[in-house]
Amino acid sequence: MKKRYLVIALVALSLLSLFVGVSSISPIDLLDFKSEETEIFLISRIPRLIAIILAGAGMSIAGLIMQSLSRNKFVSPTTAGTLDATRLGILISMLVFTNATYFQKISFAFIFALAGTLLFMQILNRIKFKDAVFVPLVGLMFGNILASITTFFAYKSDIIQNISVWLQGDFSLILKGRYELLYISVPVLILAYIFANRFTVAGMGEDFAKNLGLSYNKVLNLGLVLVALISTTVVLTVGMIPFLGLIIPNIVSIFKGDHLEKTLPHTALLGVIFLLICDILGRVIIFPYEIPISMTVGVIGSAIFLFLLFRGKAYA
């Protein structure tokens, strides 16, 4: 898995993504800067591509950090309840504030995402037998509990339709002015790369990390803050994208190993490529209609997840 091939694939798929959609746009149309096609290209197609790149890289790196810190290949924002906790935070902001502002939603979503992830890590520390398959199942059950609480209070408060918007990931509504929150992922990804070596050491265990003079708790908390920030920005902008942070780091580790500093660029690139493929498929399968990204990623990602589970059991 060479980086230059991933870059070539990313560029090719990005160009394809810019010219696939309900509105037919060709490069020649863009020569007229005042045409309707150019306006659609600038307001919709380019912001959508940027959102896919930032969300794909962000969620993949979030999964990579969680897998390293938890020392389990099947832990991710999907299987640790992080995304469900984020959605619960959005609901609480709606209940506390009648007309919750964007900042209030961001604040509550981040706090709940961080709290939910920390709680899962505490549950993980108390599990006696940390079987590779058992741990993500506990995370999925934890996430389902949070999702059930969210659904219950949403029905009770008659805002189930509002909260259901955050359940499905969808890039079709991404327009200029509605995706810029994802730029928070850029400094987060830079921090993840800077602290990659420390995350790798922390992933070897608390005692090992402390023997090397590393402040284990500080590194752990930093990693979880970065995961919560990425999850919050993606859910608030796009919606929930399942399995992305789970399968991409696993695929990369098969070819590149588990050292974060070496695998992080490959993980980000492959995550964007996978999300682009799923997004393009969702746009062409039932053209001119569109399948939400959460559905295409969910179907393909769950199949890959099952394969990785059986593979993990075979090589355990």
CA distance 76 to 91: 22
pLDDT over 70 (residue 214): yes
CA distance 4 to 90: 39
pLDDT band at 133 (very low <50, low <70, confident <90, very high): low
The residue-averaged pLDDT of 277-296 equals: 90
Which range is most confident: 195-204, 255-264, 287-296? 287-296
166 vs 210, higher pLDDT:
210
pLDDT over 80 (residue 194): yes
| Burial class, 62, CB count within 10 angstroms (exposed 0-12 / middle 13-18 / buried 19+) | buried
The residue type found at 255 is F
- Locate 140 and state its tokens: 């999925």
CA distance 102 to 253: 37
pLDDT over 90 (residue 259): no
